[in-house]
Amino acid sequence: MKTLTLTLFTSLLVSSLSAQVVPESMADRGTGRAAWLDEAKYGMFIHWGVYSTLANGEWVMCRTRIPVAEYREMASKFNPVKFNADEWVAVAKNAGMKYITITSKHHDGFAMFDSDASEYNIVDYTPFKRDVLQELKDACDKAGIKLGFYYSQTQDWEFPGGAGRKWDDAQKGEFRTYIDTKALPQLKEIMAYDPTHIWFDTPHAMTPELGREFESIVRAADPDCIINSRLMYHGNQVEGLKPAQLEELKDIGVDFLSYRDRTIPPKSPWEYWETCMTLNGAWGYNAKDNNWKTPEQVIMQLTEVVSKGGAFLLNIGPTAEGLIPEQAVKNLEAAGEWLKVNGEAIYGARGTIFQGEGTFITRTAAEQAALDKEALATGAGKKQKGHRQKDYAWLATGREGKLYLHFFQWPTEPFVLHGFDNDKVTGAYFLADARKSAVNIKQEGGTVTIKLPEQPLDELSTVLCLTLGVQK
Ligand code: GLC
């Protein structure tokens, strides 16, 4: 928790007089196929493949124009002997994550599972010979973690005709041949592992008809498996989608929106959505990138996403040996400790009327300049729009009958909140206080004044739970 004290802490004026602070329309959700995602809220994204060998991100083949034959040669030596599915799943579990999404085939075309459609896979093409997806599936089932697969449906730099940039004659071919002989058959193959979700990405040259072909393979294998919007639209297109396009997505069978990489959207027109984030600045393993988000940053971003009604998919990139970078494990674990105490304010929690501006910390120009300088020096916030972390003094999540105030900065004065015209605050206690001792609260009409103790209870984020009844 930062020590910066805020003298003008906050006084939020909420104009909507009819709403309860945890609106019922939000509290009532949750009957769709994707309801589990809304409950789970926090997942682990894993980018892992042959590219991990070069320790320079998952785009390295394309960015440095590695010839297909040369990359294949590297693939034939891929041997992640330290991979242990149970250990990875334990990292996710200790982090408080409820699901995993792993790359089954990224744009480099290499399959991390046993594939009949293409021998270019971890079992048939490498000395390792083990089926990574199967091992993870078994480990996830044991641990009670949901497992889904990322699949790059159109972009493929290895198979002739796959979409994407071309720099080698070996890549030339018919797109439809690629779809029929690799993409659709492999989708059928990964469905045999019984995933809870399929996470498509980079939809080049997709048409609604082709989208329906992919969708029908998923649904024929498992009617409950959920599909993200990147079947049809890139992450950066989602915020701009028109109602008719959203309708069409539903019609095609898409279940949840996947927003732009590393961006927490302002709000979403869909009940089910997810945004993905990197723990450092990279998806695939990058040896040079040690710009890890702190546990506090992880908790703040997760809380922000939940406060807006979404789910948070946080990425790690294991090494070519099969290890998750140590610092990543440490930071995730520290955030996981916080979740053990404060999880009820996150899992299955909802948005509230307290969203946006009122929670954004205002800085002097000098303070902002210092932060910008630091961000530039560390690489945070470079290139990727919206990558740099916002800093919140506090955020709110809720559920029926409860409002959770998450304090990232500790108020030095009584904390005043408006907007309780239709709620009666019946009590208040800290989630971190095992005895649930009452916290001093005063309500006058729609205004609630909270007198907080001098010190926060948790360095990462102290959560105060207000119990709510109806104001007569
Ligand atoms: C971007 C990257 C891709 C990565 C994805 C994760 O689309 O190009 O490599 O898998 O983000 O969301």
If one counts every other C-beta atom within 10 angstroms of the C-beta of residue 410, the result is 22
Domain boundary among 345, 375, 397: 345
Assess if residue 30 is contained within a domain.
no
Which pLDDT belongs to residue 380?
Answer: 46
Which residue of 152, 236, 283, 387 sits with most ligand 1 atoms within 8 Å of its CB, as the best mutation to test the pocket?
283
Q: Provide the CA 20 distance to its chain's centre, in angstroms.
A: 28
Assess if residue 369 is contained within a domain.
no
Closest CA to 41 of 283, 410, 345, 442: 345
One domain, residues 179 and 255: yes
283 lines ligand 1 (CB under 6 A): yes
108 lines ligand 1 (CB under 6 A): no
Assess if residue 81 is contained within a domain.
yes
One domain, residues 20 and 124: no
One domain, residues 20 and 46: no
Q: Whose CA is nearest to atom 7 of ligand 1?
A: 202
One domain, residues 94 and 55: yes
Which CATH number fits the domain that encloses residue 465?
2.60.40.1180
Which residue of 106, 261, 262, 275 sits with most ligand 1 atoms within 8 Å of its CB, as the best mutation to test the pocket?
261
Which pLDDT belongs to residue 412?
Answer: 79
Which pLDDT belongs to residue 253?
Answer: 96
Buried b (16+ CB within 10 A) or exposed e, 258-270: bbbbbbbbeebeb
Q: Which two tokens stand for residue 164?
A: 């994407």
Which pLDDT belongs to residue 156?
Answer: 98
One domain, residues 15 and 68: no
Helix or strand holding residue 215 (H, E): helix 208-221
304 lines ligand 1 (CB under 6 A): no
Assess if residue 216 is contained within a domain.
yes
Q: Which two tokens stand for residue 59?
A: 């785009």
Assess if residue 188 is contained within a domain.
yes
Atom of ligand 1 nearest to the CA of 152: 10
Residue 110, amino acid: F
Provide the domain count of the chain.
Answer: 2
Which pLDDT belongs to residue 379?
Answer: 45
One domain, residues 137 and 245: yes
For the residues of 76-94, what is the DSSP string, one character each? TT---TT--HHHHHHHHHH
Which pLDDT belongs to residue 430?
Answer: 98
Assess if residue 15 is contained within a domain.
yes
201 lines ligand 1 (CB under 6 A): yes
One domain, residues 339 and 406: no
One domain, residues 395 and 313: no
Domain range for 431: 2-24+355-362+384-470
Residue 118, amino acid: S
Atom of ligand 1 nearest to the CA of 47: 10
pTM recorded for the entire structure: 0.92
One domain, residues 267 and 334: yes
**Residues contacting 222, CB < 8 A, separation 6+:** 191, 194, 195
One domain, residues 191 and 338: yes
One domain, residues 307 and 390: no
Domain boundary among 320, 345, 370: 345
Assess if residue 444 is contained within a domain.
yes
Over its length of 472 residues, how does the chain's per-residue pLDDT go in tens digits? Answer: 544 444 334 444 444 456 799 987 654 565 689 999 999 999 999 999 999 999 999 999 999 999 999 999 999 999 999 999 999 999 999 999 999 999 999 999 999 999 999 999 999 999 999 999 999 999 999 999 999 999 999 999 999 999 999 999 999 999 999 999 999 999 999 999 999 999 999 999 999 999 999 999 999 999 999 999 999 999 999 999 999 999 999 999 999 999 999 999 988 899 999 999 999 999 999 999 999 999 999 999 999 999 999 999 999 999 999 999 999 999 999 999 999 999 999 999 999 998 754 454 555 667 667 766 665 554 444 433 334 466 788 999 999 999 999 999 888 788 899 999 999 999 999 999 999 999 999 999 999 999 999 999 999 999 999 999 977 6
Which pLDDT belongs to residue 236?
Answer: 95
One domain, residues 283 and 423: no
Which pLDDT belongs to residue 393?
Answer: 85
